[in-house]
Structure 1
Amino acid sequence: MDKVHIVTIRNPMDPIAEAYRTLRTNIQFSSFDKKIQSIMITSSGPGEGKSTTSANLAVVMSETGAKTLLVDCDQRKPNLHKIFLTSNENGLSNVLAGQISFEDAVKQNIVENLDLLTSGIRPPNPAELLASRKMEIFLQQLKEKYEYIILDTPPVVAVTDAQLLSRCVDGCLLVISSSQVEKEAAVKARDLLSKVGANILGAVLNKLEIKEKGYYGYYYQYYYGEDGSKVKKSKKKSRRRK
């Protein structure tokens, strides 16, 4: 796993890696009445960092000793097999189609306590696949095997996949890139999830650049909870002269 470019694996002491652990803690304490076991991660549009967030969150969940499964539910533009440098020949779509068993499709212990189920071959009807009764039953069965299930889904504004799947999970996270997303798009993404009764745990705001005293630039990521609180993730850039 040395070549995998995931900060929580390559540099677990990095401030950003620590911020993902803070995100983990916030999720764990987000509900006292029902355990948040299955977590769907989406964004308003492409390129906002939802797959990176999914991968890092799954890693820090597994760090606690909890058996964790990371599932690529983006049947249109899958990315997790690229992040983890593995094959996508068989995955979620193949399992739901009955072509292969889950045990044969899942990639076990990509890091300790973390399994990966890639997207598999793209089906002709991605939305219908994720909204199927078979998918709902599959998720319930996974809860018997795993303490946490992290689902990486397509952007919610672009296609309906995330909306449909959000009804089958315990909570949703919305990843928003401050450098490329208009406020209206973020609000629309939130509204689309709310309309189907999704349990929105909060939002992760990333790619926010802030200059301090003209010497340093920082990329910040924030996690916004339902109570309005936020936790900052920062990564220092190189020093610049005035």
Structure 2
Amino acid sequence: MGLFKSKKKKIDNYSLKHGVGLVTYNDPMSNVSEQFKTIRTNIQFSSVDKKLKSILFTSSARSEGKSTVSNNMAVTQAKQGDRVLLIDADLRRPIMHKTFNLNNTYGLSNYLSGSVRLEDVVQRTMIDNLFVITSGPIPPNPSELLGSVRTKDLLNRLSSQFDLLILDAPPVNAVTDSQVLASMVDGVILVVPQGIAKKSDVIRAKQLLETVHANILGFVMNRVTETSSSKYGGYYGAYKK
């Protein structure tokens, strides 16, 4: 996590086997952790009239770091004292159970298919105030499950039990899952890796989200090199709308 673009392939292969790096947990005093705190503050001020209760993180294409950003943002929010639920809504390439070393026998797909109770899928993590719903087994019909009334009811129910829901969703341009979910949450954030994401892909992702009237809060530019980042020398760029 947080390495330069030249090492992207190595990081992706590592992530698929072991999950994403939680720098905000393992190195909370680092420059990168400080930048996540800045992003957290900017998100909080992005909605003055309404408290954000659910935020979806996505990207335009695969392997652009949206899971790393969403998972570390969840840790950052939980450390602030908020009761946070992180949901692995990527039912095609799930990774959250590996990141937090959790059992993925039962998860979101099981609950949405009606085979388990909610209390069977919400799991505690090693971080105070942070809970996780893993993906569960990969289903044959992810888009249909995520677009069901049961999903909307689930998010409404969870919003009353947690201060913030953070959803890690698939890339917008690859499948319709994120569009379906974007209409159910309070806000959406696009993760855009510097020097990797194509401008045309990001524009298309934004347009697809706007089609479903998603509330696009802004973007997080990740994999920013030290020479082009802020004075703190971190790897995550500023958040802005």
Q: TM-score if structure 1 supplies the norm length?
A: 0.86
Which has the larger helix fraction?
A: 2
Q: For residues 20 and 218 of structure 2, what CA distance do their matches in structure 1 show?
A: 27
Q: CA deviation at 1:123?
A: 1.4
User: What is the DSSP-based 3-state SS (H/G/I as helix, E as strand, rest coil) of the residue aligned with 2:91?
Assistant: coil
Task: Give yes or no for contact 1:4–1:85 (8 Å, CA) kept in 2.
Answer: no
Q: CA deviation at 1:64?
A: 1.6
Q: Could you say which residue in structure 2 is the equivalent of 1:22?
A: 38
Q: For residues 65 and 224 of structure 1, what CA distance do their matches in structure 2 show?
A: 22
CA displacement 1:13-71 (0-9 Å, x = unmatched): 00111111111111111111111110000000111111011110000111121110000
Amino acid at match of 1:111: I
Which among 199, 224, 233 is matched to residue 208 of structure 1? 224
Q: Could you say which residue in structure 2 is the equivalent of 1:159?
A: 175
Which sections of structure 1, spanning at least 5 residues, go unmatched? Answer: 213-217, 227-242
Q: Could you say which residue in structure 2 is the equivalent of 1:78?
A: 94
Q: For residues 24 and 164 of structure 2, what CA distance do their matches in structure 1 show?
A: 17
Q: CA deviation at 1:224?
A: 3.1
Amino acid at match of 2:184: C
Amino acid at match of 2:179: Q
Return the index of the structure with the highest Cα Rg: 1
Residues matched between the structures, number: 219
Q: CA deviation at 1:168?
A: 0.2
Task: Give yes or no for contact 2:193–2:224 (8 Å, CA) kept in 1.
Answer: yes
Greater length-normalized contact order (CA 8 Å, ≥ 6 residues apart): 2
Answer yes or no: is 1:220 the counterpart of 2:235.
yes
Answer yes or no: is 1:37 the counterpart of 2:53.
yes
Measured on the aligned residues, the alpha-carbon RMSD in Å equals 1.6
Task: Give yes or no for contact 1:73–1:92 (8 Å, CA) kept in 2.
Answer: yes
Task: Give yes or no for contact 1:110–1:116 (8 Å, CA) kept in 2.
Answer: no
Identity of aligned residues (%): 45
Q: For residues 36 and 88 of structure 1, what CA distance do their matches in structure 2 show?
A: 28
Q: Are residues 48 and 4 of structure 1, via their aligned partners in 2, closer, same or farther at CA, if it must alter by over 3 Å?
A: closer
Amino acid at match of 2:211: K
Q: For residues 236 and 201 of structure 2, what CA distance do their matches in structure 1 show?
A: 18
Which among 95, 112, 117 is matched to residue 96 of structure 1? 112
Q: TM-score if structure 2 supplies the norm length?
A: 0.87
CA displacement 1:153-206 (0-9 Å, x = unmatched): 000000000011000000000001123211111111111111110000110111
Q: Are residues 184 and 24 of structure 1, via their aligned partners in 2, closer, same or farther at CA, if it must alter by over 3 Å?
A: same
Q: For residues 135 and 221 of structure 2, what CA distance do their matches in structure 1 show?
A: 25
User: What is the DSSP-based 3-state SS (H/G/I as helix, E as strand, rest coil) of the residue aligned with 1:51?
Assistant: helix
Q: CA deviation at 1:74?
A: 0.2
Q: Could you say which residue in structure 1 is the equivalent of 2:13?
A: none
Which has the larger strand fraction?
A: 1
Q: Could you say which residue in structure 2 is the equivalent of 1:129?
A: 145
Task: Give yes or no for contact 2:90–2:135 (8 Å, CA) kept in 1.
Answer: yes
Q: CA deviation at 1:147?
A: 0.3
Off by >2 Å, runs of 4+ in structure 1: 208-212
Q: For residues 225 and 211 of structure 1, what CA distance do their matches in structure 2 show?
A: 20
User: What is the DSSP-based 3-state SS (H/G/I as helix, E as strand, rest coil) of the residue aligned with 1:187?
Assistant: helix
